[in-house]
Amino acid sequence: MSINRPRPAYTINGHAFEAPPLAPGLHLVATPLGNLGDISLRALSVLAAATTVLCEDTRVTSRLMQRYSISTRLRPYHDHNAARVRPAILDGLAAGESVALVSDAGMPAISDPGFKLVRDCIDREIPVDVIPGPTAPVTALALSGLPTDRFLFAGFLPHKQGQRLTTLRELANVPATLIFFETAPRLAASLHDIASVLAGRQVAVARELTKLHQEVLRGTADELAESLAAGGKVKGEITLLVGPPVESASDDEAAIEGRLRDLLEDHSASKAAAMAARETGLPRAYIYELAMKLKGAGH
């Protein structure tokens, strides 16, 4: 005698939706950075239909699951237990389970042990799929005002200053905006080292993305370090961005002057210089000096 079991489902604003059957394999599900309303419909369907949801912290993921009335079993998968539990997860996947993998926020497998699970699935010819969605590096890049045509995500900066300086020197000539994850307690030290190795470049500190206290600070590393020191302790999840290497001023001076002339029509020299510096990635001091010359000459 067969037993009728309810179809997996999720709810949105009190309205229930059935989740269609999910294909066997590993499903990487991007989850909100902070605002739970940023979850996609497809992500909700996959989380509801999966056999198991692997997550970094069950307390964090359970808030998302409760918000949308999803009852799928949660199972911890993080840096401290990944090597131990991965073989059993792979065995379940090989037997036909449908497993969803999430991180606490954003896209799983980015700077977390999820990439090892993906690699092992590929080696064992287990299907892997991605349900795209929020990701902190690209969200911060779009907000930063720094060049977006070419960028490099470099994960977390090293904890120790010597290694951090070495990493920054290795990346100094990369012709792209650099993106790092950083923790609040180490932010001041990282800004100090960026000011030392990548002097004059425009920097953005994006924190608490999509949350109530979202904030993006912009300026040089020295300026931001000074501002943060005056403003007190920084909290929250942080994405740190550094503009690309500054090109020779003589190569683009005519274009910069043209842009400054336009900006000076409606803005003060200080405001025009700040705007042009963000657009070009050139040091604001250099742009401001040029703006003052143009203003003195009646531009």
CA angle 253, 217, 189 (to 5 degrees): 100
**Domain 9-134 sits in which CATH superfamily?**
Tetrapyrrole methylase, N-terminal domain (3.40.1010.10)
Residue range 126-170, pLDDT digits in tens: 999 999 999 999 999 999 999 999 999 999 999 999 999 999 999
E strand residue ranges, 175-235: 177-182, 202-207, 215-220
- Distance CA(250)–CA(162), nearest Å, equals 34
pTM of the model: 0.80
Residue range 232-246, pLDDT digits in tens: 678 888 999 999 987
Specify the 3-state DSSP secondary structure of 135. coil
**Residue 198 DSSP class:** S
| Amino acid present at 208 | E
Q: Please tell me the total number of residues recorded for the chain in this structure.
A: 299
Can you tell me which residue has the tokens 């000074």? Answer: 226
Fold of 137-242: 3.30.950
Counting residues of the chain whose pLDDT is more than 70, the rounded percentage is 94
Tokens of 161: 């200053």
Reference 153, options 190, 178, 182, 187; nearest CA is 178
Q: Which of 69-78, 119-128, 276-285 has the lowest mean pLDDT?
A: 276-285
Q: Where are the domains of the chain?
A: 9-134, 137-242, 249-296
